[in-house]
Each structure stands twice: as structure tokens, then as C-alpha cells.
Chains A and B, each alone.
Chain A
Amino acid sequence: MVGTGFSVPELESIAKGLRRDIIEMTYVASSGHPGGSLSEIDLLTALYFGILDIDPNEPDRSDRDRFILSKSHASPGLYAVLSKRGFFPHEELTSFRAIESRLQGHAHVMTPGVDMSGGSLGQGLSFGVGCALAAKLGSEAYRTYVLIGDGECDEGQVWEAAMSEDHYHLDNLTAIIDRNGIQNDRFTSDVMKLEPLADKWKAFGWRVIETDGHDMEQIICAVGEAQSYTAGPSVIIAKTVKGKGVSFMENNPAFHGSPPNKEQYDKALIELN
């Protein structure tokens, strides 16, 4: 047990089921972003089943914790975890990206449990500043978590937001970077040099916590450490593997924005059994 009601093996089992959902959704939709959904899903599982104070029966409760998926293209992971948590029926997942569906290609607030409409990179951290400032203004105890892609850190707005979080001492906000090392076209190191990433965040006034983004116990400890830090905002740099859990998708830039074909779909589900 990690103090969350779920044991580490239980969380791992949930995450494995959500990986199957991600494969199913992107295969049925014949589009979507499986790679970054698979890299983030352990982080999302830990948050939604171990950390966030939320209520599927009252998704808009004003004192709920906020979760902002800034890398909004990785919506299959978010939809999978929201459904598993009871925000909407599991059967709805296969409507992903279809006409008349609540599950848009990029996350939108029309989906129960989605806190921000995204789809254009770099905007989530600023939105999180707004949520965190509102909490401070109302003396509310809720916390705001923002998941950012590593390639997303190429966006200048991320750093505008980073500066302002420190300026306004937003210790009620935690950023998490899904450091999977791959962005749309290629490896992040080939597209734009991000390293030394931790030093950049430190220079912007953030407490930096580095962790393994696939290790439930480490993720929950890292978030706990971020929660207890009160001198300013914290960022968790979570080392992850793009496509994690499906051998031929792992570390493969081809699966950033491409769904599995039938053969790949069958193979992936066998691996995730």
C-alpha cells in the first residue's frame, strides 16, 4: 500500500488495462497519438487513483483538485483513466474521434472530468497558473497539476508561465514533464536541445524532482515531495519511454501520431495481456 487505497501492484494492473484501452481507441479511430499516451499513463494512473481529490459524480466541484493535460494530443490516456475512474462509461471510449462523440481528438471541456480545452501546445501551464491563483484568492486548498510534454517545452509560453509561477509563489501547483525524449518528428535532442532541462527549471525558481515515470511508488513519492514543498512551485521531471508497454512502439517516433494497424493492434494486445 502507498497510502492511496491502492497497492502498487493494483495500480500497475490498472495501468496495464488503460494501455489496452489506448491501443483499442487509437486502432478503432484509426488515428490519434498512442506513443505519448502510453508514456504518460503510469503518471495518470498514479494521479487519478492515488492522488487527486476528485469526484466522478460531481466533476465540476469547485474545490476539486485540477488536472491539466497540456500535451492534449495524448488525450487517449486521459480518456482511458477518466473512464476507469467513473466519469463516463467504458463503452464510450471507442467513440474517440468519431462524429457526435464527447471524446474529441484533443481534450475539450465537453468531456466530463476534463479541466481544460487544449490542442495547441504550451498553454496548459498558464491555465494552471490561473487555477492556482484562484485557489489562493479564495483560500481554497485544492491543488493544480499540469502535465507537459518534453517537446512541448520548446514553446516559449511554457517559460513565460514558469516565470510567473515563481513570481506569484504558487506552491499549490505541480508541473509534471513526460520526459519521453521523442516529439512529433524525431527525438527531442535532434529537434531542439532541451538539456540541461532540470537546470533550466531550477533557474526559473522551481523545485525540481526527478523520477522514473513508470515506477508507481516513485511517482507517488515525488508528488508527495512536491506537495510538501512550500517555497514555490515544483516540477517533476518524469523519465518515461514513449510507447511504453508495447515493444515495437517503445522509443519509436513513428508512433507519436500514428495508430496501430490490424496486425500491430493484435500484437500489442497480446503483449499487454
Chain B
Amino acid sequence: MAITFSTASTREVYGRTLVELGKQNRDIVVLGGDLNKSTFTHLFAEEFPDRFFDFGPAEQNIMGVAAGLAASGKIPFVSTFAVFGMCRPFDQVRVSISQPALNVKIVCTHAGLLTGEDGMSAQGIEDLSLACSLPSFNVVAPADSIETSQAITAASKTHGPFYIRLYRPATPVVHDESYQFKLGRADLLRNGSDMTIITIGPMAAQGLEAAEIMAEKGVHCRVVNLHSLRPIDEEAIVDAAIHTGAIVTAEEHLLHGGLSSVVSQTLALRAPTPMEVVGLQGYAESGKPAQLFEKYKIATTNIVDAVDRVMERKRN
């Protein structure tokens, strides 16, 4: 039984949310690097031209300017693509923003293999790992457009640096309007007692699809959307380990340093449990996202296979 999801663009919702926040808080300023239509921050620029600054593709400078604005009482949102907002200016983010823990919000679009045809240079598959290596940063990858809007609002009201990861294509909507995002608190998407699939970002929909397929085989999966890698909801991970006894993580990011690393560390320290991982082993290539997900083994079927493997380990 396939599940049908509607889809919506996380980046477009981000742009619209920023405009609403900009109306409420005059300290919010937005910085861009010549990709403002792609990140939808052009909507903010049209509404508040005096509070929008384009620096061209000069990301090192952008991060430093954001730091100076934050140190002077503003709330800067910096937006570009994941590879340009975290990978390229990493040192500027580390020294100018993270070490003094300044109130800068880096919101990057076009993350991961969903970026597709632009190829490996444009596919930010290490951004979460880099962001998690910055100790003062809050790190959030929303599952869908509804969570995006709430995560952006939370970031604007929570002092401190944030990295928020968004996507190029419209992605499945797994929440309804009643959903309430809580920073650092995992989101239970589906309950189940046999094992737990932990997802991040738009992999939530695939986690739910895999759970549906497994249900037909008599395996009842819990599905947890772990949208925040920092602060991390360790209790939700430990609870899943104790009450379901097996874990699969699914991410469209490098296995090294992303969701699987964070979850496996928590399990190793607090509740050793059979675990399988779905994620990327290395760089990919140009192609349509669905083709890439299949070739690089992060499709729904790969999650199903991982659940089968982990259930086998649990039984033995």
C-alpha cells in the first residue's frame, strides 16, 4: 500500500516565513550571495529593501558581515546553497560566528542529492557533519514545509547560531497544520513496537513508506523524525532502543558525521542496540534525484532492506 503525500517547497515556505518574521521584528536582516531568487529571500528583499544585503558570491565576506551585524544587535539570516553556506566559508563560520557564539542564522537550500542534475560539486552531502562540528551551533533539518516554517520561527526567537538545511525540489509533506515543532525534541511520526526508523529531513516520507511496507510483512515500525541534530533528543533515541530493540537511520547525507553518527554514538554510550544505516558513502553525480536515490542506495527499498537486516540481527 503506497502512501500518497502532497508536496511543497521548503525554500519557498522559508522565504514567505522570513517576510512574516520581518514584519514582527525590525532587527531581522537578510544577507545573500547572488542566489536570492533560488533561496526565496528575494521576497524579503522586495518587502524590506533596507534590511536586505547582497554581497555577490563572496561567502567568506558574507559570514563575517553577518557576525558583525549580530554583534551589533541585529538578527542576520544568511541564505545561499548548502555547499556555499557551510562547506566553502567553514573557517569564517568557525572563527567569526561559532567561537563567539553569535546570533547568526545560516539557512541553506539545495542540500543533498535532491539537488540532482547540478552534480557532485553542488550536492551538499557533508554540511550537517560540518555544522555538527561547530559546538555552539543549533543544527536543524526540517522534514517538510510545515516544519520548516516553525523551525525558522523558532530560530529567530532563540538566541545563538543556527544551521538550517533546506532543499531544491518540493518535498513530501508529512505533517498537518496542527503540528508543533519543538527545537531539540524528536517528532514521533508513527508508533510501532518492533523496531524504529529514525529519519532526518525529507527522508521522513520514505521512512513512513518503509514502515507501511513492513507493516504488510507483519513488522511494526516506529518512525521518528529527528529534525534537530543539536540539541539532540537523546531520550527519544534511548527510548526507541529500549522499547523497540532495533534501529535504522535514514539520511540523504554522508554517513560520516550526520544522523547515523549522532544516533550510533548515543546508542553506544547509553543503550547498545542492533542498528543499520541508510546514507551516502561518498560523492554522487548528476542525475534526477529519484535516479540518484536508487543508484546511491538511499531509496525507500534500501530502508526496507535495512529494516529486514536489523530485524534479523534482533532475532539472533
Q: Which residues of A contact B (CB under 8 A)?
A: 62, 66, 108-109, 115-120, 122-135, 137-138, 156-157, 160-161, 163-164, 168
Contact = CB atoms under 8 A, between A and B. Distances in A.
Interface stretch (B91-99, B105-113, B211-219, B224-232): B91-99
| Most A Cβ at <10 Å: residue of B74, B76, B99 | B99
9 contacts: A115-B71, A116-B96, A126-B65, A127-B65, A130-B66, A131-B71, A133-B69, A134-B69, A161-B61
Given A137-B51, A160-B58, A168-B53, A130 B64 contact: yes
Contact of A127 (B58, B64, B74): B64
Contact of B96 (A127, A131, A135, A137): A127
Nearest to A109: B100
B100 A137 contact: no
B73 A134 contact: yes
B70 interface: yes
A254 to B, nearest CB: 27
Please classify how large the interface on chain B is, using the bins under 10, 10 to 19, 20 to 34, 35 or more. 20 to 34
Given A108-B99, A137-B51, A164-B58, A126 B74 contact: no
Contacts of A137: 29, 50-51, 74
A9 B68 CA distance: 35
B92 A126 contact: yes
A126 B91 CA distance: 13
A122 B61 CA distance: 9
B261 interface: no
A40 B206 CA distance: 59
B53 A126 contact: no
A134 to B, nearest CB: 3
B49 to A, nearest CB: 12
Nearest to A132: B68
B179 interface: no
Nearest to A117: B100
B9 interface: no
- B interface, by DSSP: helix, strand, loop or mixed? helix
Contact of B92 (A66, A134, A157): A157
Contacts, number: 104
For the complex of A and B, the 6 pairs showing the least CB-CB separation, nearest first, are A130-B68, A126-B64, A134-B72, A160-B61, A160-B58, A130-B69
Given A120-B95, A168-B53, A127 B67 contact: yes
B55 interface: yes
B64 A129 contact: yes
B286 interface: no
- A interface, by DSSP: helix, strand, loop or mixed? helix
B60 interface: yes
B70 A130 contact: yes
A118 B61 contact: no
B197 interface: no
B74 to A, nearest CB: 5
Contacts of B95: 117-120, 123
Contacts of B65: 126-127, 129-130, 133, 161, 164
B36 to A, nearest CB: 15
B64 A108 contact: no
Contacts of B51: 137
B269 to A, nearest CB: 28
Nearest to A157: B60
Contacts of A161: 61, 64-65
Contacts of B68: 116, 126-134
Contacts of A108: 99-100
Contacts of B92: 120, 123, 126, 157
B63 interface: yes
A131 B72 contact: yes
B60 A130 contact: no
Contact of A135 (B63, B67, B72, B94): B72
Contacts of A118: 95
A156 B91 CA distance: 13
A160 B55 contact: yes
Contacts of B73: 62, 134, 138
Contacts of B70: 130
| Most A Cβ at <10 Å: residue of B51, B91, B100 | B100
B130 to A, nearest CB: 16
Nearest to B60: A157
Contacts of A128: 68
A123 B96 contact: yes
A186 to B, nearest CB: 24
B100 A156 contact: no
B55 A130 contact: no
Given A123-B95, A123-B96, A134 B74 contact: yes
B119 to A, nearest CB: 25
A130 B91 CA distance: 17
Given A126-B63, A126-B67, 16 more contacts: A118-B95, A119-B95, A123-B95, A129-B64, A130-B64, A130-B67, A130-B74, A132-B68, A134-B72, A134-B73, A157-B64, A161-B64, A164-B55, A164-B58, A164-B61, A164-B65
